[in-house]
Structure 1
Amino acid sequence: MHNLTKVMQYTIKVGLLCVGLLLAIHVNALEFRSVAINKAVLYDAPSTEAKKVYVIASGYPVEVIVNLGEWIKIRDHFGSLSWIQGKQLSPKRMALIVNDKAELKQAEAEDAALLATFEKDVVVELVSGPKSGWVKVKHRDGLTGFIRSNALWGI
């Protein structure tokens, strides 16, 4: 009976540890959004009275760090932190080309047909992925295909 109690205690501890790890993974999941308006002002604090630090263009992807509802603390692909009004962000997923060049392929394979080559800092819409190192994206001109995930930021 004593050994059975120890086994039950051990099982409960392991179960709680697993639940805790799953919660930690969920909490640490990255959340990305994109800028919804043409010229959004970024601030150094959550107030329109704070210092203006940058103006950011529509469609630009950002990582959500803190969400206060009306104000959201974000990180850009350089790692800079700033605040933006929550209403100026969209849940639409966009990604930024961070390599000097990124090839848009017809399929998820290196030997797939080349559809286009994009330069660094081009913004594309995230359609799906990442899957097997590839992300399906759509360019603003309507061209859709696959780009290597390591060429993108915001996924």
Structure 2
Amino acid sequence: MRRTATALLLLGVSLSSHAFDFVSVAEPAILYDANSLKAKKLFVATRFLPLEQVVELANWVKVRDNSGKLFWIEKRQLSSKRYVMVTVPLTIVRSSPDEGGEVVFKAAQQLGLEWLGNTGTGWVKVRHEDGSTGYLKSGDVWGD
């Protein structure tokens, strides 16, 4: 009994410590319910949409979106360049990773921003498509 409990505990630790990789949609792409072009087409994902990579096959990747739903997408339509998606109605991007930082720009919900890194202090460094860079609260985005 003790050996089984230890094995389950170790398995739980290894599973919880496994971080999935994030990828983004390189161009508008169809998301499917299975890994085949003949599978049911569910919807079209927009460019820069961040997705959590769950399973990778030769030509297909099983991904999770910010709602937790799972889909399949052709691997060729993904980019390793990371993006985050704003999940709150409006967030402020600041010049430094703190509330006192100057406002660089405001970002609306569902906007895709290039992920430049996580500060480890609750802030994420991002770049807007126009080249503006700054920091926003990590709780305001998904894909970090």
2-side partners of 1:57 and 1:20: how far apart? 36
Q: How far 1:25 moved relative to its partner?
A: 4.7
Indicate the residue corresponding to 1:7 in structure 2: none
**Residue 87 in structure 1 maps to residue 76 in structure 2:** yes
- CA displacement, residues 88-120 of structure 1 (integer Å, 9 cap, x when unaligned): 111111000001111000001101111111111
Indicate the residue corresponding to 1:32 in structure 2: 22
- CA displacement, residues 47-103 of structure 1 (integer Å, 9 cap, x when unaligned): 001111111111111111111131111111122211001111111110000011110
Indicate the residue corresponding to 2:98 in structure 1: 109
Indicate the residue corresponding to 2:62 in structure 1: 73
Query: Superposition RMSD on alpha carbons, in Å?
Result: 2.0
Q: Normalising to structure 2: TM-score of the pair?
A: 0.87
Q: Normalising to structure 1: TM-score of the pair?
A: 0.81
List alignment gaps of at least 5 residues for structure 2: 1-5
1-side partners of 2:73 and 2:134: how far apart? 31
Q: Specify which of 36, 40, 44 is matched with residue 51 of structure 1.
A: 40
2-side partners of 1:51 and 1:20: how far apart? 34
Q: Secondary structure of the equivalent of 1:131?
A: coil
Structure with the bigger percentage of helix? 1
Counterparts in 2 of 1:129 and 1:75: CA distance versus 1, 3 Å: same
Q: How far 1:36 moved relative to its partner?
A: 1.2
Aligned length: 139
1:130–1:149 contact (8 Å) kept in structure 2: no
**Structure 1 segments (4+ residues) deviating >4 Å:** 19-23
1-side partners of 2:112 and 2:84: how far apart? 6
Counterparts in 2 of 1:136 and 1:51: CA distance versus 1, 3 Å: same
1-side partners of 2:98 and 2:119: how far apart? 13
Match for 2:123: what amino acid? W
Q: How far 1:141 moved relative to its partner?
A: 0.7
Counterparts in 2 of 1:84 and 1:107: CA distance versus 1, 3 Å: same
Indicate the residue corresponding to 2:124 in structure 1: 135
1:40–1:57 contact (8 Å) kept in structure 2: yes
2-side partners of 1:151 and 1:50: how far apart? 34
Q: How far 1:30 moved relative to its partner?
A: 2.2
1-side partners of 2:72 and 2:15: how far apart? 25
Q: Secondary structure of the equivalent of 2:68?
A: coil
2-side partners of 1:20 and 1:73: how far apart? 23
1:59–1:94 contact (8 Å) kept in structure 2: yes
